[in-house]
Amino acid sequence: MGKLAVYKYVSAMFLVAQLVLVIFTVAALFGGNVNPAGNTARAMLVYALPLLIIANALMVLYWLLRKRWYLVLLPVVTIACCIPYIGTLYQFGSYEKSLENKAGLKIASYNVAMFGRETSGFMAQDILAEMRRQKVDVLCMQEYNETSGDRKNSASYKEYFPYMQVGRDDMVIYSRYPIRNHKTILFDDTNNSAMWADVEINGEEIRVFNVHLQTTGINRTMHQAAKMQINGGYEVSNSRLLNAIYGNYTIGMLFRAGQAVTVANEKRSSEKPCIVCGDFNDVPYSFVYNTMLGNMVDGFKECGSGFMSTFRGKKPVRIDYIFHDEALKGLTYYRGDITYSDHYPIFMKIAL
Predicted confidence (pLDDT) per residue in 52-72, tens digit: 999 999 999 999 998 888 999
Residue 305: phi, psi to the nearest 5? -150, 150
Task: Check whether 104 has a pLDDT greater than 50.
Answer: yes
Cβ-proximal residues to 141 (8 Å cutoff; 6+ apart), any chain: 110, 111, 112, 149, 171, 172, 173, 174, 210
pLDDT at residue 220, as a whole number: 54
Task: Check whether 2 has a pLDDT greater than 70.
Answer: no
- How far apart, in whole angstroms, are the C-alpha atoms of residue 311 and residue 321? 11
- How far apart, in whole angstroms, are the C-alpha atoms of residue 321 and residue 301? 11
Other CB atoms within a 10 A radius of the CB of residue 119 amount to 11
Say which amino acid occupies 93. G
pLDDT at residue 229, as a whole number: 47
Cβ-proximal residues to 119 (8 Å cutoff; 6+ apart), any chain: 147, 148
Helix (H) or strand (E) holding 148: helix 146-149
Task: Check whether 292 has a pLDDT greater than 90.
Answer: yes
- How far apart, in whole angstroms, are the C-alpha atoms of residue 164 and residue 139? 9
| Alpha-carbon distances of 261 from 58, 134, 194, 248, rounded to whole Å | 37, 32, 12, 20
**pLDDT tens readout for residues 183-193:** 999 998 888 99
Other CB atoms within a 10 A radius of the CB of residue 121 amount to 16
pTM over 0.85: yes
Q: Among candidates 27, 86, 15, which has minimal Cα distance to 53? A: 86
198 and 272 Cβ atoms separated by less than 8 Å:
yes
